[in-house]
Amino acid sequence: MPGLKIRELSFSYDGTKILKNINLDFKEGEKTFILGGNGEGKTTLLEHLNGLLQPNTGDIYFGDQKITYDDSCLNKLRQEIGVLFQNPENQIVAPKVPQDIGVGPCNLGLTQEQVKNRINNSLKKLDIKELAERKTHNLSVGEKKKVCIAGLLAMKPSTLVLDEPLSSLDPKSSREVIDIIQNLNQEEGKTIIIATHNIGFASKIADKVIIMEEGKVKESGSPENILRKDILNKYSLKPPGLNMNKIHK
């Protein structure tokens, strides 16, 4: 499973520069956390990772292969790299839960039997069998999030890119999702990239932490080096009432 490399990436929305000269390496099998305040460009960066957005300048490499934005390359990329959107409303496309989870596998050209297996496995993994009969439009936000994660896993990507995976999940579901992430990482060796402003979450499982500000990568390193009071304060990322003594693993 190859890693991801970003070289000199810049991106603008309507002439406003959002990402500026980003250079990043995501090593395979590593859990990287991208921290940053609201509107600093985390989501925009993640959407580049499976070709949903195309950089104005700069390149992204998956393994040794440069992403070229033609159909076959994008297809392979999107199969290998699963992106969880920040807002599950934007990710659900089918009217029923199993159908939605099956959209990806169907597109990979699997047989009905295989698709069904994948759906069932995903439902089991996320412990949402009870949603199997439900329609997607009246799920709660947290339930939608889980359905989206299940839809990702059903495509069996080698890299998971998760945009705020814990937002709107209750503590129990959060713990479950963290366990799932850990499992995927440790047992199946999947590369994990997570954008969040949840420092506690990052300190629990990160192998590497990146801090973004105004579309630039400002800090990058091990959680011990980055998740320090002075650094977090500098980027106004220290949550109110967080006890810094407890933060390290």
Partner 1 sequence: MTTLSRKLRSHTLSQKNNLGLTSNQKIFFSIFTLFINISLKEVHSILLVLLFMTSLTIWSGIRIKNYFKVMLVPLFFLIPSIAIIMFIRGTNIVFTINLLGIQLHVMREGINLGLILLLRALAGVSCLYFLILTTPIEEMIQSFRKIKLPNVVIEILFLSYKLIFDLADRAEILKRSLNSKLGFNSIKNSFKSISLFTSSLFVNSIDRSIKINKALDARCCNGKMPSPNILEEKKGINKKISISFLVLITFDLILIALKII
Sheet holding 216-221, edge to edge: 81-84, 159-163, 191-196, 31-35, 208-213, 216-221
Dihedral of the alpha carbons of 168, 97, 160, 74, in degrees to the nearest 10: -130
- From the list 52, 54, 124, 188, which residue makes contact with partner 1 (rule: CB under 8 A)? 52
| Amino acid of residue 22 | I
- From the list 6, 22, 31, 44, which residue makes contact with ligand ATP (rule: CB under 6 A)? 44
Contact flag: residue 239 with partner 1 (CB under 8 A): no
What span, in angstroms and rounded, lies between the C-alpha atoms of 89 and 148?
9
Which of 40/143 has CB closer to ligand ATP? 40
Contact flag: residue 174 with Mg ion (CB under 5 A): no
Give the β-pairing of 57-62 and 65-66.
antiparallel
Contact flag: residue 140 with partner 1 (CB under 8 A): no
- From the list 26, 32, 35, 41, which residue makes contact with ligand ATP (rule: CB under 6 A)? 41
Binding to Mg ion, residues 73-102 (CB under 5 A): 86
| Amino acid of residue 10 | S
Instruction: Compute the half-sphere exposure of residue 9: CA atoms within 13 Å on the CB side of its CA.
Output: 30
Binding mask 18-37 for ligand ATP (x = CB under 6 A): x-----------------x-
Binding to partner 1, residues 54-83 (CB under 8 A): 71, 74-75, 78-79, 82-83
Contact flag: residue 90 with partner 1 (CB under 8 A): yes
Interface residues with Mg ion (CB under 5 A) are: 42-43, 86
